[in-house]
Amino acid sequence: SIHLSDYRAPAWRIVHADLEFDLDAGATEVTAHLRLQPDPEQPDAPLRLDGEDLQLLDLRIDGAPLPSDAYRVDAAGLHIEGLDGACTLTSRVRIRPIANMRLEGLYASRGALFTQCEAEGFRRITWFVDRPDVMPTWRITLRAERAQYPVLLANGNPVEAGDLGDGRHFATWHNPHPTPAYLFAVVAGDFGCVESRLARADGREVALAVWAAHEDVPRCRYALGAVERALRWDEERFGRVYDLDVFNVVAAQDFTMGAMENKGLNIFNARYVLADEDTATDADYMGIESVVGHEYFHNWSGNRVTLRDWFQLSLKEGLTVFRDQEFTSDLHSRAVKRIEDVRLLRARQFAEDAGSLAHPVRPPSYREINNFYTLTIYEKGAEIVRMLHTLLGEARFRVGMDLYFARNDGRAATVEDFLAAHAEASGRDLSQFARWYAQAGTPHVEVKDDFDADGGTYTLEIAQRTPPTPGQPDKAPLHLPLRFALYDAEGRRLKVDPRADDGSGDRIELTAARHRLRFHGLPSRPLPAFNQGFCAPVKLAYDYTPSQLGLLARCERDPFNRWDALQRLATGVLLEHFTDAAAAGAALLAALGDLIDDEGQDPAFAAECLLLPDFDTLAEAVPSIDVDALIGARNDLLDRIALEHVERLDRRYHALAAAAAGGLEPAAMSARRLRNVCLDLLTRLDPGAALAQAQFDAARSMTDRLGALRCLVHHDAPGRQAALDAFAGRYATDPLVTDKWIALVASRPHPDALLDVRDLFATQLWTPTNPNRVRAVLGSLSRMNPLAFHAPGGEGYALLAESLPELDGINPQVAARLLAGFESWRRLAGARRNRVEAVLQGLEGRLSSPDSLEMLARLRA
């Protein structure tokens, strides 16, 4: 494995790369002219170039053929010794895009050619010093048959294009910005586009285009609008201006990840580009805008300022997730966005941090970097940046960001560079804060209080500790901001610190393992509230009574905390934490009833409150996971809520009909969201599912159609099969919508879902080379269907494991990610733990990629 502490600057740098491609799906020839410069500090170091699956055709130094005894090729590299200084290396290689199933490097998809180079895919295209701190400027010439590949795109600005005779043509692109190879991209194929022009803040113009297969072009409009909004927002909020004449986005149906921020040529999984009312849900639209923003924002946080090495991955990903979260929050509801993000963090990142795959935001070592594109790097990384923003405040944070960008522009930076810029700009000592990057595990913050009625003195005792994680038994205290507020018995805010009254609560900074806070002159014991806006990514324990949580759900000024009070109440009811269970249930039902009726509240917020903590979140809140008990408790409580509030739910469902019939405006999206939550609760009580059937039949948007279909399928309605067939027939030619119904079938909370998945394997629908399809089937089963996945006999585990050896041979990243679905296995109660253990043992010797081998080893360690 590779260790952060072993970092050494490259012995040879590439200052300019001039590449020529003769593109063809069966055999592409790549000629690379690399201008090489040795590091004067490392004289006589041999030149080592990375390369995998390359057929070497020719090798020259400064134009002269290199004799075969002057270099050596092994499985991973090309070694040349005895070079005596700066020179130009020219190599010619042949590669086979059509045979590339890993979708790393140059690959074919539906008659077109795409690249994916992050993290180490460029070495599958040509010999190169494939590391992010090697940043040449680029000139890229593409030659191909015009009929099959009329569109030829690459990084940077277009410089020249023309005919070559013989049905062939060419295009040359120039990227003047120093850019590492992981951001290299070319696309060739028969695409159409939607386009627009935008004036940049510096007065220049940029031509924007979103490309897709011709039949999909009408569904690219929304993504183009999102690019325009992202470009403006980054100018206004971060002062970041775009730096090329063109910005291209291309949709690919075969794509391993969500999207990729290649310089000037973002390549996207089609699911984050294509949308229209008939095929995309409101959630899809929001996902598209957020991912478009994310990739666009990388142009500064990732591309202009890139990474010194892959250990720094969160330097670009955590920061860019923070930026895309702020983008969405500024454009839509900040409260709802925060709730969604925290939901994901608690359900998935906390589980990662508590499981076999726990790792710090900056891991100290890895075998396969692709295994570290995790929720910890992305989401916890974003939380760290958010804490910094909270500690410094928006104005000083912005000064620190400006300094970071200015100082590191065109450089390959580290987490230390980022913190140094903020420390300098704010005058604050961030050395303890840096521990967040090194220490894995979710911190527990426990608060105890005491009230002395005589003197009116209120004391808060706050303790933090982080539990051990694999390889890190001992943890040190972290520096974190903790907001809090005190309320009186009527829910009025008590002013305890006149300096902060922005509704966000007062704030202290924890640095030690224990802190004590004292407040004097209080008339009675106050009700405390903590961690407004979830300003620190911790588990906070305070012994609330049900009625206190009911009061907080009404009076807390911070909307996130109002939602969180209900989540705490629901969690306590589900896990039987309250001594007075009856009172707790009653408080929860009363609060939810008020919300269903409350027309003054954003319906999307009410919808979030009505959704109970999901299985993963509950599983993460208990020491040992009793699958049946958790699923059973959740179902019982949902039934109880539905039964108690059936009239209210029905009334609100119908009252929202008019608003829900609108388009993409926030009020309509919000209305559809709450309506679909009401529909799900109502369908629990109605075996005939008449309401869901009616909504399905009348639906005019995918949100309503899919919402209704989900109710029919997940609640076993009589019309379930007919509706599934109708839906499948209507969208048979659309892979993205087909993925949606496959995901519904695979996530149906019924033991038979395993049989349905097996049936799918036997149909044309099972295309193991398409990552979206594999995820729709197996990701949905393992991540969204605890009931079937954790079938008591281990059949779910076996089903997932069975498919892994084949998938690993096709696309290791996809296989390794599915394997991570077992991350919490050590905490499973009863026989399930043994069943997973047996399944993991059975995989030994049947997987071959470094990706899956590393995952398996960490799971079993």
Q: What angle do CA 506, 512, 516 make, to 5 degrees?
A: 55
By beta-carbon proximity to ligand ARG, the closer residue of 297 and 436 is: 297
- As measured in angstroms, the least distance from the Cβ of 273 to Zn ion is 16
Question: Is residue 373 involved in binding ligand ARG (CB under 6 A)?
Answer: yes
By beta-carbon proximity to ligand ARG, the closer residue of 550 and 812 is: 812
> What 3-state class would DSSP assign to 172?
strand
Token pair 């067939």: residue: 725
- As measured in angstroms, the least distance from the Cβ of 774 to ligand ARG is 15
By beta-carbon proximity to ligand ARG, the closer residue of 371 and 782 is: 371
Q: Which does 342 bind (CB under 5 to 8 A by kind): Zn ion, ligand ARG, none?
A: none
Q: Decide: 709 and 724 in contact? Cβ < 8 Å.
A: yes
Total residue length of the chain: 861
Q: Which residue out of 118, 120, 289, 295 is catalytically annotated?
A: 295
- As measured in angstroms, the least distance from the Cβ of 784 to Zn ion is 23
Radius of gyration of the chain (CA): 28
Q: Decide: 116 and 103 in contact? Cβ < 8 Å.
A: yes
- As measured in angstroms, the least distance from the Cβ of 672 to ligand ARG is 28
Q: By CB under 6 A, what part of segment 519-558 binds ligand ARG?
A: none
The stretch among 213-221, 253-261, 485-493, 606-614 that binds ligand ARG (CB under 6 A) is 253-261
Question: Is residue 317 involved in binding ligand ARG (CB under 6 A)?
Answer: yes
By beta-carbon proximity to ligand ARG, the closer residue of 119 and 736 is: 119
How far is Cα 649 from Cα 697, in angstroms, rounded to an integer? 20
Question: Is residue 257 involved in binding ligand ARG (CB under 6 A)?
Answer: yes
- As measured in angstroms, the least distance from the Cβ of 372 to ligand ARG is 8
- As measured in angstroms, the least distance from the Cβ of 306 to ligand ARG is 11
Q: By CB under 5 A, what part of segment 164-203 binds Zn ion?
A: none
The stretch among 317-325, 483-491, 502-510, 594-602 that binds Zn ion (CB under 5 A) is 317-325
How far is Cα 278 from Cα 173, in angstroms, rounded to an integer? 37
CA distances from 166 to 2, 148, 149 (A): 49, 13, 14
Q: How many CA atoms lie less than 13 Å away from 209 in the CB half-sphere? A: 15
CA distances from 251 to 113, 260, 285, 548 (A): 12, 11, 15, 50
The stretch among 111-119, 319-327, 673-681, 708-716 that binds Zn ion (CB under 5 A) is 319-327
By beta-carbon proximity to Zn ion, the closer residue of 174 and 817 is: 817
| 295 among known catalytic residues | yes
- Which residues share a beta bridge with 459? 450, 518
CA distances from 573 to 28, 534, 605, 767 (A): 62, 22, 21, 43
Q: Decide: 105 and 95 in contact? Cβ < 8 Å.
A: yes
Map residues 384-413 to x or -, x wherever contact with ligand ARG holds by CB under 6 A.
Answer: ------------------------------
By beta-carbon proximity to ligand ARG, the closer residue of 261 and 379 is: 261
By beta-carbon proximity to Zn ion, the closer residue of 320 and 785 is: 320
By beta-carbon proximity to ligand ARG, the closer residue of 259 and 478 is: 259
Residues 6+ apart with CB under 8 A from 456: 520, 521, 522, 523
By beta-carbon proximity to Zn ion, the closer residue of 24 and 118 is: 118
- As measured in angstroms, the least distance from the Cβ of 371 to Zn ion is 16
- Would you state the structure tokens that stand for residue 63, as one six-digit string? 């134009």
The stretch among 41-49, 255-263, 580-588, 840-848 that binds ligand ARG (CB under 6 A) is 255-263
By beta-carbon proximity to ligand ARG, the closer residue of 119 and 384 is: 119
Question: Is residue 564 involved in binding ligand ARG (CB under 6 A)?
Answer: no
How far is Cα 554 from Cα 566, in angstroms, rounded to an integer? 10
Q: By CB under 6 A, what part of segment 268-297 binds ligand ARG?
A: 294-295
Q: Which of 667, 675, 752, 665 is nearest to 706 (CA)?
A: 675
How far is Cα 629 from Cα 631, in angstroms, rounded to an integer? 6
Q: Give 3-state DSSP helix, strand, coil % of the chain, rounded to 5.
A: 45, 20, 30
Binding footprint of Zn ion, residue count (CB under 5 A) = 2
Q: For helices 646-655 and 666-685, give the axis angle rounded to 10 degrees.
A: 150
- As measured in angstroms, the least distance from the Cβ of 310 to Zn ion is 13
230, 250, 259, 270: which one contacts ligand ARG (CB under 6 A)?
259
Is the torsion defined by CA of 77, 81, 87, 92 positive or negative? Answer: negative
Question: Is residue 370 involved in binding ligand ARG (CB under 6 A)?
Answer: yes
- As measured in angstroms, the least distance from the Cβ of 294 to Zn ion is 5
By beta-carbon proximity to Zn ion, the closer residue of 286 and 723 is: 286
> What 3-state class would DSSP assign to 49?
strand
Q: By CB under 6 A, what part of segment 328-347 binds ligand ARG?
A: none
Q: Which of 788, 810, 797 is nearest to 840 (CA)?
A: 797
Three-state SS letters, 452-518: ECCCCEEEEEEEEECCCECCECCCCCCCEEEEEEEECCCCCEECCCCCCCCCCCEEEEECCCEEEEE
By beta-carbon proximity to Zn ion, the closer residue of 317 and 851 is: 317
- As measured in angstroms, the least distance from the Cβ of 370 to ligand ARG is 5
The stretch among 139-147, 252-260, 353-361, 662-670 that binds ligand ARG (CB under 6 A) is 252-260
Map residues 115-144 to x or -, x wherever contact with ligand ARG holds by CB under 6 A.
Answer: ---xx-------------------------
Binding footprint of ligand ARG, residue count (CB under 6 A) = 11
Q: Which does 482 bind (CB under 5 to 8 A by kind): Zn ion, ligand ARG, none?
A: none
47, 103, 251, 260: which one contacts ligand ARG (CB under 6 A)?
260
- As measured in angstroms, the least distance from the Cβ of 318 to Zn ion is 9
24, 216, 243, 261: which one contacts ligand ARG (CB under 6 A)?
261
Q: Which does 260 bind (CB under 5 to 8 A by kind): Zn ion, ligand ARG, none?
A: ligand ARG
The stretch among 31-39, 79-87, 258-266, 600-608 that binds ligand ARG (CB under 6 A) is 258-266
Q: Which does 257 bind (CB under 5 to 8 A by kind): Zn ion, ligand ARG, none?
A: ligand ARG
The stretch among 137-145, 259-267, 516-524, 717-725 that binds ligand ARG (CB under 6 A) is 259-267
Residues 6+ apart with CB under 8 A from 527: 486, 487, 488, 489, 491, 548, 551, 552
By beta-carbon proximity to ligand ARG, the closer residue of 270 and 391 is: 270
Question: Is residue 312 involved in binding ligand ARG (CB under 6 A)?
Answer: no
Residue number, nearest CB to ligand ARG: 373
Q: Which of 334, 333, 328 is nearest to 233 (CA)?
A: 328
* Terminal C-alpha separation, the chain: 15
Question: Is residue 426 involved in binding ligand ARG (CB under 6 A)?
Answer: no
Q: Which of 490, 577, 554 is nearest to 527 (CA)?
A: 490
DSSP code string of 764-833: TT--TT-HHHHIIIIIHHHHH-HHHHT-TTSHHHHHHHHHHHHHHHH-HHHHHHHHGGGTTGGGB-THHH
The stretch among 49-57, 149-157, 254-262, 403-411 that binds ligand ARG (CB under 6 A) is 254-262
Q: Which does 151 bind (CB under 5 to 8 A by kind): Zn ion, ligand ARG, none?
A: none
* Residue 717, preceding peptide bond in cis (omega within 30° of 0): no
Q: Which residues carry out catalysis?
A: 295
Residues engaged in binding ligand ARG (CB under 6 A): 118-119, 257, 259-261, 294-295, 317, 370, 373
Residues engaged in binding Zn ion (CB under 5 A): 317, 320
